[in-house]
Amino acid sequence: MKLKYFHDKTTTNFMHLMQKKENFSLMSQEEKIRSVAKNLEQLIDEVPLFLVRVEELMSALDEKVTWKEWKYLFKLGTSKVAWGLGKVVGHKPSLKAMISQICDMVHREQFNSSLVALGLSDPPATTTTTTTTTSTANGATSAMPKKVNPKTSPAKYAQLSSVESLCQSPLARDSSLAGGAVKLLREGRGTDMIFEIIVVQESGDVVVDHTHGEPVSRTDHSKEVDIHEIQAHCVIIAARCDWFRRALLSGMRESIDKKITVHDTNPSLFRLFLEYLYSGQLETNEMSTEQLADMMAIGDRYEVDSLKSLCENTLKHHLDEDSSLFLLSLAEQYNATALRSSALNFITEHPKVMESEVFEELPEHLQSEVADAVLWHGLDSRSRSLSGHSHTETPPSSVSGLSHTERLMAQLDIDSEDDKTNSSSSEEMNYVEDSGRLDACLESLRDIVGDGVPREELVRVALAADYDVNRALNFFFSA
């Protein structure tokens, strides 16, 4: 209903203007001059009154509306304008004829470009014709048309319409606003808050023995506290980080003192974090694995998901035999699913990393998951080598899927066309390394499932479960 009312009202006004234009065209030259002069005199008389009203409005705003309320009203007005533009764009097919008529009446290139930038009008043809002036032999100049493709010709942001920023913001590396914000942080101009970074360095006392063999009393370790301060701007920090916004605008102590204390963080790394908040970009190519891990921890602590995702994707390219277990533990701690999957796949391809001391420091559930993934990867490779196929698939990151269980057990089929006795099965499987564990597992399974199940079937599930009775039973009943 609102859109229909707006359409009717706009159509009526434009029809009225078109009628006036037609009446003006029918006037004689003298009548046109008198009409224009009359309108100009009326406009001159109304301009002072208009200026007075504007001054009265400004005074009323200064007296009744605070700066905070003005910002709120401005945001409310811009949001309503954006909502209206969205509605108009959504009904573009219905308004196409009216918009085309408006463009013909205004007949200004800048106005047409603005409508195209807002999405209210279709862009012009892909090629435009420009005029190139060339000199002839006799000194005369001539104009020659030249086709220019706007997709290939360089376009400056300043050359675009002024309403471009309402539709699409530039990239951070191309934004003059981002560059200016970082410059503002580095120069420290106009700051109104402080980040206080506390670094505690422990140093042990040097004890010199002057007792000639008598017991020496030792003192506690002394702690050196270094305090680093970084000045920043509340409005930028609160707008870019929800954690800081809650701390600075919710009546907490930080909002009163305008100071946020940061512990267990490198000051240089925290300054890079602040520069990311100001500019939206971070140079990760020159950062080490430890620095990226610490930056990811900062992003998780202060709920900056974009920074956390950036560090996670960069750390995937730092995977090697020395860092894979560490990155797996880091991904588990900060719920970085993409990094966790990449690290687990790398470990299954390089099982030797499990021999390091770092593997023993992992949580038990993570150790079990890594061991299961490596086991399944090995069994899958051996089963494919037995069937004469090369293993090219990516190893599974989890052993909980029943479909993969059934597929792997089907690949481990060791039956032959000839009849086999129960005592010869273990000899035909040349990759059974511990027959004692296998026999114990088979005996436990036999007590549970009975004697009606063939030995070959029990051997399959025992090998797939790495001789674990409970897992073997799960595999058996799932198949």
User: What one-character-per-residue DSSP string does 14-68 give?
Assistant: HHHHHHHHHHHHHS-HHHHHHHHHHHHHHHHHHHHHHHHHHHHHHHHHHHH--HH
180 and 306, same domain (yes or no) = yes
339 and 263 in a common domain: no
Nearest to 307 by CA among 334, 329, 325, 345: 334
Residues 253 and 271 in one domain: yes
Using CA atoms, how far apart are residues 199 and 187, in angstroms rounded to an integer?
24
Note whether 306 and 198 are same-domain residues.
yes
* Contact in structure between 185 and 280 (CB atoms under 8 Å): no
Q: Outline where 153-241 has alpha helix (H).
A: 164-167, 176-187, 234-240
CATH number, domain containing residue 244 = 3.30.710.10
Residue 148 forms part of a structural domain: no
* Count of the separate structural domains present in the chain: 4
Q: From 318, 352, 377, give the residue that closes a domain.
A: 318
Cα–Cα distance list, 204 to 200, 222, 224, 265, 284 (Å): 13, 6, 11, 22, 35
Planar angle of CA 251, 252, 258, nearest 5 degrees: 95
- The encoded tokens of residue 67 equal 């700066």
User: Do 378 and 417 reside in the same domain of the chain?
Assistant: no
Of 107, 105, 111, the C-alpha closest to 18 is 105
Domain assignment present for residue 467? The answer is yes
Give dist(CA 209, CA 207) in Å, integer. 6
- Dump the DSSP string for 319-372: --TTTHHHHHHHHHHHT-HHHHHHHHHHHHH-GGGGGSHHHHHS-HHHHHHHHH
Query: In residues, how long is the chain?
Result: 479
Angle between helical axes of 267-279 and 176-187 (0-180°, round to 10):
150
What pairs with residue 227 in β-bridges? 198
250, 283, 318 - which closes a domain: 318
Select from 91, 126, 161 the last residue of a domain.
126
- Which tokens go with 232? 């920043």
Decide the pairing of beta strands 259-263 and 193-203: parallel
Is residue 184 one of the residues assigned to a domain?
Answer: yes
On whether the CB atoms of residues 338 and 367 are closer than 8 A, the answer is: no
CB 103 within 8 A of CB 75: no
Q: Which helix (H) or strand (E) holds 478?
A: helix 469-478
Q: What is the pLDDT of residue 299?
A: 92
Whether residue 313 is found in the same domain as residue 351: no
Phi, psi of 401 (to 5 degrees): -80, 130
β-strand 141-148 against 222-232: which pairing, if any? unpaired
Assess whether 329 and 281 both reside in one domain.
no
Asked if 181 contacts 236 with a C-beta cutoff of 8 angstroms, the reply is yes
Report the amino acid identity of residue 450. G
Non-local (6+) Cβ contacts of 35 within 8 A are: 24, 27
Do 271 and 356 share a domain, yes or no?
no
Kindly report the pTM of this predicted structure: 0.48
Same domain, 102 and 28: yes
- Cα distance between residue 468 and residue 466, in whole Å: 6
Residue 213 lies in a domain: no
C-alpha separations of 360 from 221, 331, 339, 461 in Å: 29, 17, 20, 28
Q: Give domain status of residue 436, yes or no.
A: yes
Q: Are 98 and 130 in contact (CB under 8 A)?
A: no
Nearest to 230 by CA among 275, 287, 282, 296: 275
Other CB atoms within 10 A of residue 153 CB: 9
Q: What is the pLDDT of residue 231?
A: 92
pLDDT at 428: 41
Q: Would you give per-residue pLDDT tens digits along the chain (479 residues)? A: 667 777 788 888 888 888 888 888 888 888 888 888 888 888 888 888 888 888 888 787 777 777 777 788 888 888 888 888 888 888 888 888 888 888 887 777 888 888 888 888 888 765 444 444 444 444 444 444 444 444 444 444 444 444 445 556 677 787 888 888 889 999 988 888 999 998 887 655 544 444 455 554 555 555 688 889 999 999 899 889 999 888 888 777 877 888 899 988 899 999 999 999 999 889 888 899 999 999 999 999 999 999 999 999 999 999 988 888 899 889 989 988 899 899 989 988 888 888 888 888 888 888 888 888 887 776 555 555 544 544 444 444 443 444 444 554 554 444 444 444 443 443 444 444 467 788 888 888 888 888 888 888 888 878 877 778 877 777 777 66
In DSSP terms, 201 is beta-bridged to 224
Domain that holds residue 296: 176-202+222-318
In a shared domain, residues 232 and 312: yes
Burial code (b: 16+ CB inside 10 Å, e: under 16) for 342-366 equals bbbbbbbeeeebbeeebbeebeeeb
Residues 49 and 26 reside in one and the same domain: yes
Residue 196 belongs to a domain: yes
Residue 152 lies in a domain: no
User: In this structure, are 243 and 336 located in the same domain?
Assistant: no
228: which 2 tokens? 């680093």
In what helix (H) or strand (E) does residue 84 lie, and over which residues does it extend? helix 67-90
Residue 455 lies in a domain: yes
